[in-house]
Amino acid sequence: MLDFKIDQKKCTRCELCVNDCPVGIIRMGDDFPHIPEEKESACIGCQHCMAICPTAAVSILGKVPEDSQPVEGHLPDPDQLETLIKGRRSVRRYRDENLDPQLLQRLLDVAWHAPTGVNARQVRLTVIDDREVMQAIREETMEALGEVVDRDALPNNRLMFAAFVAAWRDKGVDILFRGAPHLLITSTPKKCPAPKEDGLIALSYFELFAQSLGVGTVWDGLAMWAYTELVPHLQSRLGIPEDHEIGYMMAFGPPAVTYPRTVQHSPALIARLQK
């Protein structure tokens, strides 16, 4: 049941909810908006109707507008947001300590608000939230990769992993995870409309919010290659369901380095269509 409700004392019958519904199932009745029972199954649960109502008259799915956060007057300054995006850095040096659990939970809660294809909202956020657990995963992964190297079973396009294993064995240097105390993995059921894209978008949201709070992040393509190509049996060790597709992986934690300024990239590659 959608539990679509209109507070008739607040509703001005402006029809914004009717016109903004992505699947067009809200109808304007004799007096107030409603959703015909036969149309309820088409709802994708986006809550646009509740978000757009200027008088907070719409409730749906058991959600009431009073529990939502106001947007007007609470958005970041555009110049600051621009600096955040331009100043984002891949952090490859971390302090050996856990993030505060409340801070980590806040990061995950915000990342969960990232958009998904057809509002499927089935991205699984698998997180290693303790540095001791991360150390165990690190050791198991490097041991498994070492076995692949010892069997001379690395594919030609992944021969660099032999150097990663040697650095770990000889010096205890962790190139794969960059010594980060935490790891975040997104995965989504393969049957979802956009399984890989959903995970990538969630990590993008996670990264920007994390860096705004002083948390370092790095897109971990090396770990991605390892777990999807070289030691895929370890996906079960990470708790990834068999019917899921991994979106991507991100190492993160308290950074051991700061970057006082942005970098300067070449001009954007822009193509404009002509009439």
- Listed by start position, the domains of the chain span 13-67, 79-253
pTM over 0.75: yes
The two domains 13-67 and 79-253 share their CATH topology (first three levels equal)? no
Which amino acid, residue 41?
Answer: S
Query: In this structure, are residues 218 and 255 in contact, taking their beta carbons and an 8 Å threshold?
Result: no
The label of the residue with tokens 């490859």 reads 92
* CATH level 3 topology of 13-67: Alpha-Beta Plaits (3.30.70)
Selection from 259, 265, 261 nearest residue 218 by Cα: 259
Secondary-structure percent of the chain, ordered helix, strand, coil, rounded to 5: 40, 15, 45
* pLDDT one digit per residue (tens) for the chain, 275 residues: 899 999 999 999 999 999 999 999 999 978 899 999 999 999 999 999 999 999 999 999 999 999 999 999 999 999 999 999 999 999 999 999 999 999 999 999 999 999 999 999 999 999 999 999 999 999 999 999 999 999 999 999 999 999 999 999 999 999 999 999 999 999 999 999 999 999 999 999 999 999 999 999 999 999 999 999 999 999 999 999 999 999 999 999 999 999 999 999 999 999 999 99
Residues with Cβ within 8 Å of 40's Cβ and at least 6 positions away in sequence, in order, are 1, 2, 4, 25
Which amino acid, residue 18?
Answer: V
* CATH level 3 topology of 79-253: NADH Oxidase (3.40.109)
